[in-house]
Amino acid sequence: MERTVPDRPALDGLEEKWAARWEADGTYRFDRSTPRERVYAIDTPPLTVSGSLHVGHAFSFTHTDTVARYKRMRGFSVFYPMGWDDNGLATERRVQNYFGVRCDPSLAYDPSFEPPGSSGEPVAISRPNFVELCLRLVAEDEKAFEAVWRRIGLSCDWSHFYTTIDEASRRASQRGFLRLLARGEAYTAEAPTLWDVDFRTAVAQAELEDRERPGAYHRLCFHAADGSDLLVDTTRPELLPACVAVVAHPDDDRYARLTGSTVRTPLFGAEVPFVTHPLAQPDKGTGAAMVCTFGDTTDVTWWRELSLPVRAVVGRDGRLAPSPPEGLAPGGAELYRSNLAGLTVRQAQRRVVELLRDSGEMQGEPRPITHPVKFYEKGDHPLEIVTSRQWFFRTIAHRDELLQRGAELRWHPAHMRSRYEHWVEGLTGDWLISRQRFFGVPFPVWYRLDTNGRPDYSDPLLASEESLPVDPSTDAPPGFDESQRGKPGGFAAEPDVMDTWATSSLTPQIAGRWEDDPDLFARVFPMDLRPQGHDIIRTWLFATIVRSHLEFGCLPWRDAAISGWILDPDRKKMSKSKGNVLTPMDLLVRYGSDAVRYWAASARLGTDTAFDEGQMKIGRRLAIKILNVSRFVLTLPQGDEPPAGAGNLEPVDASMLASLDALVAEATAAFEGYDHARALERTETFFWSFCDDYVELVKNRAYGALGESRALSARLALEEALSALLRLFAPFLPFVTEESWSWWQDGSVHRAPWPSPGSTGGDPSVLHAARRVLAEIRRAKTEAGASLRAEVAKTTVSGPAALLGAVEAADDDLRQSGAVADLQLVEAGGDLAVEVVLA
RNA sequence: ACGCCCGUAGCUCAGUUGGUAGAGCAGAUGGCUUACAACCAUCAGGUCGGCGGUUCGAGUCCGUCCGGGCGUACCA
């Protein structure tokens, strides 16, 4: 092949040039005729399209890309789709702010609606209008994401692109739901549920987070039947009207006399049973606790296990219900109506405290504390517990099987398995999948309405699999027509949508086109790799295992590669207010994509990593060095002789190639163990030594200073090493390696075979010894303040025979590179010693 | 409270079954050397968080404590 090497190679413009070429050539296209055993399938994380990309995204996706590129060079057909997770609350919230709207499902669709913009009071719009806006905004965001992914050189196959709201995803999600429902693994139930009062939706255990909040113990006086006071500490006095019992530990002698009796609540005068339960802790507060429906999850346990009634007071809007619950004394009910109805929880707490002070039923003042409170991770107010009808997937019944799946999975790094195990062991209930929201995959479910127009939830009407995806709010169920919607004897749609995890848990099924394309699915599922961050082990990873286990009885993938987080240089979260946030695109433009990838790939899996522009500068330097050394190797004067066989290589050249073989073996083993950072680090170390020592050593010979035959050996070795190094670097620095490869090779380096160790029979100790001597010569010159080109009158190397033999094998190269007039070898005991006399 | 990870040079980190502490950056000094001044060479930086133990020998293995991060649980 004709060589075309630019005079002044540079990084500028490589990204645009090669991204376009790869797209045009289909370099990364998945070959779906490949048999399963030659396919390597990756279950890509569909990023939440929230409108802003973070460097952390570029970080973890680069890790995955290095593996994809490695496997491709190993001859696998790599199935590397790309997707966006656009459905769900993140998008809804962004749409509300961006367009100045809010969704009101009771409104009718307005085909001519145009959003008002973000200023002013939000405009209420119909659900179909709202979904349209979601899709519009998501499309804009996705364009920006794709531009970054292309710029950073992700080798995904854009023809296998999906979003979690697209038609195929909705079909897969609804199909998966119907299959689990048919098998009894999905069910609907009315139950106390953790509830976000701002978003007005149920939330799942996986979406909780604890936050330390100020609170206060209030010591309340309940009244026992014998006229004595019973003191109870609570942090939530506003729930007093919801009190259904007082509980103490069965072994707590202080309260033994009360067990089985009733006590009367302060202010509201409800008669509630005094009960015992082992969860009550004698050392907390007074040892007696009030049970409310519902103040926390322990209340739910007590309520269920002690068969207590429900006296709900907090509504779905986070305010106290307009009417008092059953069971209050008449005066108490009136007190509730005139003082508490309609108040927020905070307002109600203040009012109840005032009332308690007035009635003398609070002992002392509230004692401030801070305590952990459960929040929805995206929410601003503490979660309440309200009773509502929800949909669930069964997980508790499968806990042991799910633990077993976690044990089968190969985790990288291995210790991430314990996070999964802790999560599964700590599950407290089945997986809650329904959300009272708008932009999500709807349940393919309707309910019959009885003659009074009331829905029958016990026997839902289901869509057929052939009809999927359906929207029950606009499609009629089988056997009905639209005119019967909402009419007695007709039907009503299930109003909820599925949580986004209920769909994204199917990414292997979605990307593999489960049931839509059985041939493809059989070639890619179960997949090989799940790459993701450690923060979503309890959500995405867990959920995907649940779905695969319940549907197929197997793991969805064999390996999980868990990336760490990106930290600010000062170990803190980056913040926009500090003005130090750089978008990935800024960095890609400033340092070049290969440089940013170098920084990302330098970090091992599972390790949180400091954002470090210094590393990007080093990566940029490495990329430039690759261009320059390529230019050197490829523009050496070409002789006339035909290529000699490997047996004719000079010992120094064979020695270098032997070390290269060891490097190839090491880098390969590192990649096989999902340790991309080690593969990069070893390759980089070898590369710099190759440039600084080997190239300097043989440079003059390669130019022909010792004759054409010996020059040829150097050139062959240099080219072989360059070829291997470009391929070893290709997974990390795809642009600069492709550029250099294109100067002298056909096809893409990313389709070239991964290097395999040759059999040059070289002795690594030759180059090793020569480097030591060369270093001593350099030191002597530097210490004399002389140029490295300065002449050396005499160099004497002394040492044991074996080492001297190695030096002798490189003696002409040492004379040339060191400008040494006289090189003497003297056998002696001990280690190698070098004496240098400058001219 | 329990579990997991981390603590090595000023900074970022290597250190694979125990065998004389490594690299890059930053710093100092010198050099325009026909691939590369966006370059090169040389130098100087460390009681490997503390204490104890096993061993001929511990950054590495065991125990314990301290500091940091995360996870799970608890939430009256």
Q: Is the CB of A590 under 7 A from strand B?
A: no
Question: Is the distance between the Cβ of A685 and the closest atom of strand B smaller than 7 Å?
Answer: yes
The CA distance from A586 to A593, in Å, is: 10
Closest nucleotide to A784 by C1' from CA:
B30
Return all residues near A677 (Cβ < 8 A) that are at least 6 apart: A601, A602, A603, A604, A605
Q: Check residues A615 and A644 and name the one with the higher pLDDT.
A: A615
Question: Which nucleotide C1' is nearest A592 CA?
Answer: B38
Stretch A292-302: mean pLDDT, rounded? 94
pLDDT of residue A572: 52
Mean pLDDT across A510-537:
97
What token pair was written down for A164? 């979690």
Q: Sign of the CA dihedral A428, A431, A434, A439?
A: positive
Q: What is the pLDDT, as a whole number, of residue A505?
A: 97
Task: Report CA A216 to chain centroid distance, whole Å.
Answer: 38
Q: What 3-state DSSP class applies to A659? A: helix
ipTM score for this prediction = 0.95
Residue A230 one-letter amino acid:
L
For A196, the enclosing helix (H) or strand (E) is strand A186-196
Name A residues 230-259 whose Cβ lies under 7 Å from strand B: 232-236, 247
In this predicted structure, the answer to whether residue A16 has a pLDDT above a threshold of 80 is: yes
pLDDT in tens, A241-262: 999 999 999 999 999 999 999 9
Q: Which tens digits make up the pLDDT trace of A514-524?
A: 999 999 999 99
Is the distance from CB of A786 to CB of A669 less than 8 angstroms?
no
- The label of the residue with tokens 């195929």 reads A168
Sheet containing strand A47-48, edge to edge, reads A47-48, A82-85, A161-163
Cα distance between residue A582 and residue A586, in whole Å: 6
Does any strand B atom come closer than 7 Å to the Cβ of A678? Answer: yes
Instruction: Please state, as a whole number, how many other Cβ atoms lie within 10 Å of the Cβ of residue A617.
Output: 15
- Nearest DNA or RNA nucleotide to A570 (CA to C1'): B11
The count of other CB atoms within 10 Å of the CB of residue A3 is 10
DSSP A295: S
Confidence (pLDDT) at A575? 47
The number of helices, as runs of H, and strands, as runs of E, in chain A is 25, 31
**Band (A758; pLDDT cuts 50, 70, 90):** confident
A673 CB and strand B closer than 7 A: no
The per-residue DSSP string of A120-168 comes to: SSPEEE-HHHHHHHHHHHHHHHHHHHHHHHHHHT----TTSEEETTSHH
Q: How far is the CA of A169 from the C1' of B46 (A)?
A: 56
Can you tell me the distance from the alpha carbon of A654 to that of A647, in angstroms, rounded to the nearest whole number? 9
> What number of other Cβ atoms are within 10 A of residue A313's Cβ?
25
Nucleotide nearest A703 (Cα, C1'): B34
pLDDT digits (tens, 9 = 90+) for A107-144: 888 999 988 876 778 999 998 899 899 989 888 888 88
Q: Which bases on strand B have an atom closer than 7 Å to a protein beta carbon?
A: 3-5, 12-15, 23-25, 29-33, 35-36, 38-43, 69-76
User: Which residues 721-760 on A are within 7 A of strand B at the CB atom?
Assistant: none
A57 confidence band (pLDDT: 50, 70, 90): confident
8 A C-beta contact, residue A234 and residue A366:
no
More confident residue, A142 or A156: A156
- CB A480, CB A491: distance < 8 Å: yes
Q: Give the pairing of strands A410-412 and A39-41.
A: unpaired
* Sign of the alpha-carbon dihedral angle for A185, A190, A195, A198: positive
Strand B proximal to A696 Cβ, under 7 A? yes
pLDDT of res. A646? 47
Point out the least confidently predicted range of A120-129, A491-500, A664-673: A120-129
With distances taken from each CA to the C1' atom of nucleotide B2, the closest residue turns out to be: A422
- Classify residue A330 by burial, with Cβ atoms within 10 Å: 0-12, 13-18, 19+: exposed
| Distance, CA of A53 to C1' of B36, in Å | 35
Q: What is the pTM of this model?
A: 0.94
CA of A238 to C1' of B35 (A): 78
pLDDT at A479 over 70: yes
Share of chain A above pLDDT 70, in %: 97
* Nearest-nucleotide field for A422 (CA, C1'): B72
